[in-house]
């Protein structure tokens, strides 16, 4: 492969900026661009940092910097590599990179360093993805999931499952070739049970996929309710600052307002929407239409009801006294909904949850005084993470692409189990074992196409 070079640190000014080089000519390029200060210097000792001048292609000095040479195969990419630790200025780093390119290096493509590490066997595809996810991790928990994948936990799981399928395939082949041999034959009951065990292991891993996605990309929490229920006041209370305009005038919020926030370590996009009502026109009607669109996209709906308007007895009725709340509960009965009884300072509910919403988690708060808002935050996190997704098994959670591979393998194995139970011939079953193994192999890149690799690594930054 050609020798590549790229700036590895983010753009902008900083104390240090790093230019990375990888490929067979790394040491030669370093010798041509770097002049050590030490008069006794003879050659670059591996894994030793030297101070000196970085030169351009004409031999003119560019910077006072540090340089290190790292021979393969025990490097990140598995190739000979080098780094120049310069002062962190945009123009300076671009000048150093331009000099390396003029001397024969090629500008690295996005993710090319990580792709070479994968191709050279330094990591599997799940570990390579973990690098990008750790760089962009918005929470401590997302960082933990990424680190576990970087350590190879998910890759080992996928490999173990493939090996289990390979052993089953061997047993199936023996059963096909020697059906009369009682010692070698695989009974259908044992075959179906073994497939079921693998499905259960995949299910446990898939249980954490949604949780990992929320902690990596954030959850959309949409506030909905009638006009003047206090949605904007509650949004401000959750954000910890006055972001939404609050007024007693109906229809104050005419568009949605989306703000990022951190709820006990969970990255969240909080969406305040226009009050829902039917008698609207013009801009307000558009705002209500957008509010309904956001409700359909929500990971969690905070259904805010006006406790003062409902009164204490409003919680004891079997039918919902708030027509807007009734509409939301009916239209989104299969979506995660958390009922928020607002204006607790003016009227506490007679019972919580109300009879008309007894199957939904509920919290009574006062957005005005902040009472019980901390309880609401805990309930939001619990509803999104614990109740819907379950605990992550050993801190191991797949990302969206990996979850698709697991789900595809699970569906293949579930169909296989039905075939076994219905008495299908074993030679047909062997093909399903192969298909499931290929799906699991895509997690580590063992059976991934070039198109899949291109999609994965194109999302990386250029220096990684």
Kindly tell me if the per-residue pLDDT of 357 is higher than 70.
yes
Over residues 83-91, mean pLDDT: 94
Tell me the per-residue pLDDT of 318-352, one tens digit each, with 9 for 90 and over.
888 888 888 888 888 778 899 999 999 998 888 88
* Distance separating alpha carbons of residues 243 and 227, to the nearest angstrom: 18
Angle formed by the axes of helices 450-457 and 125-135, nearest 10°: 20
Q: What is the tens place of the pLDDT at every residue in 116-141?
A: 999 999 999 999 999 888 888 887 87
Phi, psi for residue 5 in degrees, rounded to 5: -145, 150
73 preceded by a cis bond (ω within 30 of 0): yes
The yes-or-no verdict on residue 389 having pLDDT over 80 is: no
**Which of 40-44, 279-283, 342-346 is most confident?**
342-346
The residue-averaged pLDDT of 215-239 equals 87
CA 18 from chain centre, in angstroms, equals: 27
Strand, coil or helix: 454: helix
Q: 């093909």: which residue's tokens?
A: 431
| Helix axis angle, 140-150 to 209-217, nearest 10° | 120
Ranking 265-274, 335-344, 372-381 by mean pLDDT, the lowest is 265-274
List Cβ neighbours of 381 (8 Å cut-off, separation of 6 or more): 263, 264, 266
Q: Which of 251, 223, 249, 261 is nearest to 367 (CA)?
A: 223
pLDDT band at 208 (very low <50, low <70, confident <90, very high): confident
**Partners of 253 in the β-ladder:** none
99 Cα distance to chain centroid: 37
Give me the mean pLDDT over the 210-226 stretch: 83
- Which fold does the domain 4-108 belong to in CATH? Gyrase A; domain 2 (3.30.1360)
Q: Domain 225-389 carries which CATH code?
A: 3.40.50.300
Cis peptide before 329 (omega within 30 of 0): no
Edge-to-edge strands, sheet with 219-225:
257-263, 266-272, 219-225, 300-306, 337-342, 362-364
Query: Structure tokens of 354?
Result: 């109300």
For residue 54, the model assigns a pLDDT of 95
- Residue 95 predicted with pLDDT over 80: yes
Residue 244 pLDDT > 50, yes or no? no
In the chain, domain spans: 4-108, 132-208+398-457, 225-389
Per the model's pLDDT, the better-predicted residue between 364 and 399 turns out to be 364
Q: Is the pLDDT of residue 171 over 60?
A: yes
Q: What would the mean pLDDT of 151-165 be, rounded to a whole number?
A: 91
CA dihedral sign of residues 421, 425, 430, 436: negative
Percent of the chain past pLDDT 70, that is, above it, reads 90
Q: What is the pLDDT of residue 400?
A: 86
Reading phi first (left if > 0) and then psi (alpha if -120 to 50, else beta), residue 45 is in beta
Dist CA 255 CA 252 (whole Å)? 9
Higher per-residue confidence, 323 vs 78: 78
Please give the class, per CATH, of domain 132-208+398-457: mainly alpha
Extract the runs of DSSP E, i.e. beta strands, from 237-279.
257-263, 266-272
Residue 395, pLDDT > 70, answer: no
φ/ψ of residue 94, rounded to 5: -65, -35
On average, the pLDDT of the chain sits at 85
The pair of structure tokens assigned to 367 is 């957005």
Domains 4-108 and 225-389 share a fold: no
Asked if pLDDT for residue 288 goes beyond 80, the answer is no
List the structure tokens of 199.
């499905």
Q: Facing residues of 270 across strands?
A: 221, 259
* The pLDDT of residue 237 is above 70: yes
Q: What is the pTM of this model?
A: 0.75
């Amino acid at each position: 492969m050609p020798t590549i070079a790229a700036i590895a640190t983010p753009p902008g000014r900083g104390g240090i900026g790093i230019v990375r080089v990888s490929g067979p000519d790394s040491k030669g390029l370093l010798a041509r661009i770097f002049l050590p200060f030490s008069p006794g210097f003879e050659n670059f000792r591996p894994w030793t940092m030297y101070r000196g001048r970085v030169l351009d292609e004409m031999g003119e000095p560019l910077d006072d910097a540090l340089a290190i040479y790292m021979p393969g195969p025990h490097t990140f990419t598995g190739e000979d590599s080098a780094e120049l630790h310069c002062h962190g200025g945009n123009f300076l780093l671009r000048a150093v990179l331009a000099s390396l390119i003029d001397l024969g290096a090629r500008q690295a493509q996005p993710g090319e360093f990580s792709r070479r590490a994968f191709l050279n066997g330094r990591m599997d595809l799940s570990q390579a993805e973990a690098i990008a996810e750790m760089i962009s991790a918005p929470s401590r928990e997302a960082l933990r999931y990424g680190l576990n994948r970087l350590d190879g936990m998910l890759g080992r799981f996928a490999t173990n499952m493939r090996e289990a399928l390979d052993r089953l395939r061997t047993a199936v082949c023996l059963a096909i070739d020697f059906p009369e041999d009682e010692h070698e034959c695989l009974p259908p009951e044992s075959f179906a049970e073994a497939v079921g065990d693998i499905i259960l292991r995949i299910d446990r891993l898939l249980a954490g996929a949604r949780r990992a996605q929320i902690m990596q990309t954030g959850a959309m929490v949409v506030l909905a309710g009638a006009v003047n229920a206090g949605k904007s006041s509650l949004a401000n209370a959750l954000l910890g600052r006055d972001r939404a305009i609050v007024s007693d005038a109906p229809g104050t919020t005419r568009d949605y307002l989306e703000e990022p926030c951190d709820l006990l370590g969970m990255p969240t996009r909080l969406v305040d929407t226009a009050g829902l009502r039917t008698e609207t026109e013009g801009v307000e009607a558009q705002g209500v239409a957008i509010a309904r669109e956001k409700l359909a996209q929500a990971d969690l709906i905070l259904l805010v009801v006006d406790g003062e308007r409902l009164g204490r007895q409003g919680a004891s009725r079997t039918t919902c006294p708030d027509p807007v709340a009734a509409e939301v509960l009916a239209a989104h009965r299969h979506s995660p909904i958390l009922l928020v009884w607002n204006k607790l300072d003016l009227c506490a509910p007679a019972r919580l949850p109300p009879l008309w919403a007894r199957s939904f988690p509920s919290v009574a708060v006062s957005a005005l005084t902040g009472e019980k808002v901390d309880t609401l935050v805990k309930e939001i996190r619990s509803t999104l993470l614990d109740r819907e997704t379950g605990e992550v098994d050993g801190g191991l959670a797949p990302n969206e692409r990996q979850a698709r591979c697991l789900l595809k393998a699970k569906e293949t194995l579930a169909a296989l189990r039905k075939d076994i139970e219905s008495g299908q011939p074993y030679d047909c079953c062997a093909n399903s074992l192969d298909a499931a193994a290929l799906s699991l192999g895509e997690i580590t890149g063992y059976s991934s196409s070039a198109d899949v690799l291109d999609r994965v690594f194109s999302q990386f930054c250029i220096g990684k």
